[in-house]
Amino acid sequence: MLIQAAPLTRTIAEIFRAAGTSTAEGERIANSLVGANLVGHDSHGVGRTLRYVEWLQEGIQYADKTITILAEGDAFALVDGNYGFGQTIGVQAVQLGIDKARTAGVSVIALRHSGHLGRIGDWAEMALEAGLISIHFVNVAGGLLVAPFGSIDRRMATNPVCIGVPVADGPPVLLDFATSLVAEGKVQVALEGGASLPHGALIGDDGAFSDDPHLLYGETKPGRSPNPRKGSGAMVTMGLHKGSGLSILCELLAGALTGSGTAGPAPYRFANGMLSVYIDPVVLDVEDRISSDIKDYLDWFDTARPATPGGEVLSPGEPERRKKADRLANGLTIPEDTWSAILNAADLSGLGRARVAEIFAEH
Ligand code: NAD
């Protein structure tokens, strides 16, 4: 289905408002989900709506929560997200990191018990807007989906890592990826008939690599979101032993160090933990040359020749910028199953699908 961002955003915001969030939080969630679709990360887009509404109703994430500061210094804080929506908790935790880095030059924020933080690039973008470098390690307590390198047993979550670096007079460098070969949402997108998975994104309990999403979800029920705990297989990490090692570090830094909880072995409640480092480059810029060094390096990087005729060499963040420009201009395509799940979410929230039809008629 080809769909425009504006009525889709209105629809998702109204679904969450009907489900019990404030208007402002509903809009934040809608902007985050549609924003992920716009930059091409459908795995973190509106396909998550039904699951978020179910989580709200089941008390897995709560509406309109505020962070609690558990420990604090000039350049650090340990904060608890109290299982509030990540789209609200993330804003508060990142703003705290930005404020501290502006006064102290650097800051570290350890966030525990946040609801799903969505696309982590959103948080690096918030820091970039404030002129700051940021580094984020994220884990998913209870999100046992990924087998370590060489194993068939789930021991880790999809654990994203994200780094943003501002560039003077140019687009920033923004690296943001799951340490699993693909993000879990991409397995869901494949299950719903969207883009298929690369072979070897999953591993069966027989040790055979596969691209069959049912290895993660098992058999699914119509009208309910698929449960990734039900499958007999596991996702695999990107970058062989290196991605696996990075994922373990996310468990330790974002899960154990923050107190959010690791992927296992305890039956931890679902939450994102995030350890974030914010750096104001100005405080390190004693020779007043960091901006020009970054710019000069990136200009030279851009002269690297493509390996294949007609190929391109991109820097991190460029694919998302291009996709966003295209999707804002031409609309975005979502699979029929995702649209059905949004209509189910509209019913489940009490908004009703008739109102969704009205919103689209108004645009
Ligand atoms: P991905 O594999 O598409 O990798 C994206 C990164 O690679 C981006 O930085 C992009 O700019 C860069 N990139 C892509 N193609 C490139 C190219 N040709 N040349 C140079 N750079 C290129 O992303 P993913 O691993 O599927 O992750 C998707 C999203 O899922 C991320 O936004 C991540 O934060 C999110 N995520 C969130 C959670 C959570 O618990 N909240 C968990 C896992 C993943």
In this prediction the pTM is 0.96
Using a pLDDT cut of 90, give the percent of the chain over it: 91
Q: Is 160 in the pocket of ligand 1 (CB under 6 A)?
A: yes
Neighbouring CB atoms inside 10 A of 73's CB total: 11
What pLDDT, in 10s, does the model give residues 125-144?
Answer: 999 999 999 999 999 999 99
Give the residue, by CA position, lying nearest to ligand 1 atom 32: 119
- Indicate where the chain has its CATH 3.30.1370.60 domain(s): 65-180+239-323
Q: pLDDT band for position 222 (50/70/90)? A: confident
Q: Could you report the per-residue pLDDT of 81-112, keeping only the tens digit for each?
A: 999 999 999 999 999 999 999 999 999 999 99
Structural fold of domain 2-58+331-362:
Hypothetical Oxidoreductase Yiak; Chain: A, domain 1 (1.10.1530)
Ligand 1 within 6 A of CB of 272 = yes
State the distance from the centre of ligand 1 to the C-alpha of 162, rounded, in angstroms. 9
Query: Which atom of ligand 1 is the closest one to the Cα of 312?
Result: 18
Token reading at 331:
């609309």
Mean pLDDT value of segment 210-216? 96
190 Cβ inside 6 Å of ligand 1: no
pLDDT band for 22, please (50, 70, 90 cuts).
Answer: very high
Q: What is the pLDDT of residue 268?
A: 85
Pairing status of strand 146-147 against strand 133-141: unpaired
Atom of ligand 1 nearest to the CA of 318: 11
In the predicted model, what is the mean pLDDT of the chain?
A: 96
287-311 per-residue burial string, b: 16 or more CB within 10 A, e: under 16: eeebbeebeeeeeeeeeeeeeeeee
* 229 phi, psi to nearest 5 deg: -85, -10
CATH of 65-180+239-323, one of 3.30.70.100, 3.30.1370.60, 3.40.228.10, 3.90.1170.50: 3.30.1370.60
Q: In a 10 Å sphere around its CB, with 0-12 CB exposed, 13-18 middle and 19+ buried, how is residue 345 labelled?
A: buried
C-beta of residue 112 within 8 angstroms of C-beta of residue 137: no
The 10s digit of each residue's pLDDT in 136-174 is 999 999 999 999 999 999 999 999 999 999 999 999 999
193, pLDDT greater than 90: no
Closest CA to 82 of 99, 70, 95: 70
Beta-carbon contacts of 9 under 8 Å, excluding residues fewer than 6 positions away, are 27, 30, 31, 34
Specify the residue with its C-alpha closest to ligand 1, atom 14: 319
Residue nearest to atom 21 of ligand 1 (CA): 316
pLDDT band at 363 (very low <50, low <70, confident <90, very high): confident
Give the closest residue to 164 by CA, choosing from 175, 153, 155: 175
Q: What is the pLDDT of residue 308?
A: 96
CB of 186 sitting under 6 A from ligand 1: yes
The radius of gyration computed from the CA coordinates of the chain, to the nearest angstrom, equals: 20
